Structure 1
Amino acid sequence: MNWRQKVLDFDHIGDRGEGLKGLVFDIQKFAIHDGGGIRTLVFLKGCPLVCPWCSNPESLAGKPEITFVSNNCIGCGKCLEVCKAGAIRKDETGAKGLIIDRDRCTLCGQCAKFCYAGAINIIGRYLSVPELVTMIERDRKFYEQSNGGVTFSGGEPTAQPEFLKAALQAIQARGIHTAIETSSFVAWETFASILENVDLVLTDIKHMDDAEHKRLTGVSNKVILENIRNISRLGIPIKIRLPLIPGFNDSDRNLAATAEFVEQLSNVQSLDILPYHRLGEMKWGQLGQDYSLTGVPALTLEDVESRIQPFKDRGLNISIGG
C-alpha cells in the first residue's frame, strides 16, 4: 500500500464506552527534548497530514492498527489458530513468515495476546481523562524537581480536540506544565479553545511554499502559518520546529523564507532543526505500507551545519535535534 493511500477514520475516536475517551498509541516517560525538564509524552493517534518522511507512521490513521514485526516471529502458528477472521496466513515465499490481511482483520487482539514473541501488536488504546491523569500524577515529583510537565504529541493531537482539551484542563488544574507538539493544521476556533490550557506550543513549519507544502503533506500551509501568527499574537511561548528533509525542503530559497517568517514572530524560544533520519523506516513495513524515501541518506551534523546560515544571519536561537 502506498503511503498516500492511507485512510483517516476519525469516527473511531472519542466514543468507546462511557465518557470521553481518547485514542492513545504510546506514553513515554522521562522525556527531555519536548518542552523543558523531565516530561511525560502522550502520543495521540490520527493525523490529517501525510508526510512521506514520518517516523511515527503508526500515528497516522485515526483508528487502532495491527503491526507485524517479522524479525520477532518464531513461526509457532498460534496466531493462525486464534484468528477467527482468517486474516492471517503463512507467507509461502518464506520472506516474511506471515501475511496479514488488514481488510479482514477485526482488531480483536487475540493474535497479539497469544504472541509471546512480540511479533504482532495492536497499536492504539482508548483511555479516559481520569485514567490518563492517574498515570501522569505518578511522576509529579519529577516534573516539580526539573520544571518539567506533560507534552501531547501524535500524530496530530488536535485531531482529537475534545479529549485533548479536557486532558489539558485536568492536567493544568493540577499545576503541571502543559505543552503540545502540533502541525498547527486545525481550524482556529478549535485551536484557540485548546490553547487556553497550553503553556508551550511546539509547532512544525514543513515548507513555506503553499503548493510544495500541499504536494509533500497533502494539505495547504495557509491555515498553519496563520495559526502560528495567531499563537504569537496571543503571547504563548513557541518553539518552531523544522524537519529538514533532503530534496524536499532544504533549498536555500525555502530556508531563507522560513528564517524571514520566524524572525517576525514574538515569543519564539528557539528554532529547532530536526535532521532527517531513517529510524522510522521499518515501521512502515510493519504496518504493511511502503516507505517512499527508501535510499535517502540520513543527514549528518555537517549536512545540517551547511544549511542553517540563513537562520544564523537573522540571529535566531537555533538548536539541532530539538
Structure 2
Amino acid sequence: MTVLLGTSIPVGQADAAFASAGRTPAAAATQRPSEGSVHSWDLSTGVDGPGTRFVTFLSGCPLTCLYCHNPDTMRMRNGKRTSADDVIAEARKYTRFISASGGGATVSGGEPLLQPVFAGELLHRMKNDLGLHTALDTSGFLGARATDALLRDVDLVLLDIKSWDRATYRKVTGRPLEPTLDFARRLADLGKEVHLRFVLVPGLTDAAENVEGVAAFADGLGNVSRVDVLPFHKLGEAKWDALGMPFTLHDTPSPTAGQVAAAKAVFAARGLTAV
C-alpha cells in the first residue's frame, strides 16, 4: 500500500470553471489532466467490488461517521496533491493481473464526490484508457455533484445507507439522510447497478424496523444486485486515538454471528442477495 501524505487541493474553483464552460468532468479530462487530494492507493479483493481491484482513496469527507475505520481520510489536508496521470500510471502496472481476476478499479475515500472533477477523470481513464470495470464507492450525500457524464463511466456504485431512521442516520454521520436517498433513486432511474452496504452496529443501527426500512427501500429500487451487511468493528480505533479524536463507540460490541444472520435474513426475505 502506498500512502501519500501532504497538502490538499481545493476543487470548488475547478467545478465552477467546468460548469461555466459547459464541460463535463469527462470532457475536461481529455483536455487537461486534473489533480486532487489523494490519501492512498491499494490492491484489494472482495470488499471494494468484484475481483481484485485497484482502489484509489481520495481525501476529504463531509460525513463524520462514528465508526469510520479510516478517520485519517476525513480531511482533505491529510492527502497529497496528486495528478490523475500519476494514479493512472500506477494502476496501469496491474491491469493484466486485475483483468485476469475479473476485477477493476474503484474510486473511494473519504468521499470521492467531494472532488467530482478529479474522481470523474479517474473513472473515465480507468474505464476508457485502461479498459477496467469501474466502481464508485460513496455515501451518496454528495450525489448531486455526480454529473450524468461521470456516472456513464461508472459500472457499479457501492452505496452506503447507514440507517433508515433519520435521527439515527444523523447521529451516526452528522448529516441528513435524504440526499443519499435522492441519489439512490437517481441511480435506479439510470439503471445503474448498485451494491448497497449497511453497517450493523448493536444498539445503534440493528433495530428490526431500521433494518427492514433499508431493505424495503433497496427492494423498491430494482437495481440493487447485492447487499453487504457489514459487522461493526473497532479496527480503526487506534487511528482515532492517534488523531486525538474521541471514539465514542469504544464500549460498543461487534454484532454476533446470529445478529448478522438475522439482518441478512431481512434483506433475503425481500428477494435481495445479502452477503
Q: Are 1:164 and 2:119 matched, yes or no? A: yes
Amino acid at match of 1:40: F
Q: Does the 8 Å contact 2:229/2:263 carry over to 1?
A: no
- Residues 7-52 of structure 1 show CA distances to partners (whole Å, capped at 9, x for unaligned) of xxx974359xx96311111211143321111111111111111111
- Asked whether the equivalents of residues 14 and 23 of structure 1 are also in contact (C-alpha less than 8 Å), the reply is no
Correspondence for 2:69 among 52, 55, 59: 55
1:218 correspondence with 2:174: yes
Distance 1:256 1:32 in 2: 25
CA distance in 1, matches of 2:269, 2:222: 18
Counterpart-to-counterpart distance in 2, 1:32 and 1:135: 21
1:124-148 deviation digits (Å, cap 9, x = unpaired)? 2221011110000000111221121
Tell me if the contact between 1:13 and 1:63 (Cα under 8 Å) persists in the aligned partners: no
What TM-score do the two structures reach when normalised by structure 2? 0.85
Instruction: Kindly provide the amino acid, as one letter, of the partner of residue 298 in structure 1.
Output: S
CA distance in 2, matches of 1:191, 1:220: 21
Partner of 1:138: 93
The partner residue of 1:298 within 244, 254, 257 is 254
Structure 2 Cα separation of the partners of residues 180 and 190 of structure 1: 10
Amino acid at match of 1:242: F
1:257 partner letter: G
1:180 aligns with 2:177: no
Question: Does structure 1 retain, via aligned residues, the 8 Å contact 2:143–2:179?
Answer: yes
Q: Residues 40-75 of structure 1, C-alpha deviation per residue, up to 9 Å, x if partnerless?
A: 1111111111111111100111212xxxxxxxxxxx
Mean Cα deviation higher: 165-174 or 199-208: 165-174
Report if the CA contact (8 A) 2:138-2:157 is conserved: yes
The DSSP-based 3-state class of the residue aligned with 2:221 is: coil
Deviation at 1:210, TM superposition (A): 2.3
Residue in structure 2 matched with residue 273 of structure 1 by the alignment: 229
CA separation in 2, counterparts of 1:26 and 1:11?
A: 13
- Unmatched 5+ stretches in structure 2: 1-6, 13-31
Which residue among 67, 78, 84 is the counterpart of 1:129?
Answer: 84
Matched, 1:149 2:163: no
Summarize deviations over 1:113-163 as a string: whole Å, max 9, x none: xxxxxxxxxxx2221011110000000111221121110111111111111
Q: How far apart are the structure 2 equivalents of 1:155 and 1:144?
A: 26
**What's the TM-score, normalizing by structure 1?**
0.73
RMSD between aligned alpha carbons?
Answer: 2.0
Per the alignment, residue 17 of structure 2 pairs with none
For each residue in 1:188-214, what CA deviation from the matched residue of structure 2 results, as whole angstroms up to 9, or x when unmatched?
253534212111100011111223322
Aligned mate of 1:45, from 45, 59, 73 = 59
**1:245 aligns to what?**
201
Q: Which runs of 5+ in 1 are unaligned?
A: 1-9, 65-123
- Report how many residues are paired: 249
Say which structure is richer in helix.
2
Which deviates more, 259-268 or 182-191? 182-191
Q: CA deviation at 1:280?
A: 0.5
**Cα distance change on mapping 1:191 and 1:254 into 2, 3 Å:** farther
Tell me which of the two structures has the higher relative contact order, counting C-alpha pairs closer than 8 angstroms and 6 or more residues apart: 1
Give the whole-Å Cα distance in 2 for the aligned partners of 1:307 and 1:149: 29
**Any idea what SS the aligned residue of 1:29 has?**
strand
Aligned partner of 1:258 in structure 2 is 214
Per the alignment, residue 77 of structure 1 pairs with none
What is the Cα deviation at residue 311 of structure 1? Answer: 1.6
Structure 2: how far apart are the matches of 1:186 and 1:303?
31
C-alpha offsets along residues 290-317 of structure 1, whole Å, 9 cap, x if unaligned?
A: 1111111122322311333322222211
- What SS class does the counterpart of residue 307 from structure 1 fall into? helix
| Whole-Å separation in 1 of the counterparts to 2:221 and 2:260 | 23
Structure (1 or 2) with the larger CA radius of gyration = 1
State the percentage of identical aligned residues.
35
Alignment correspondent of 2:266: 310
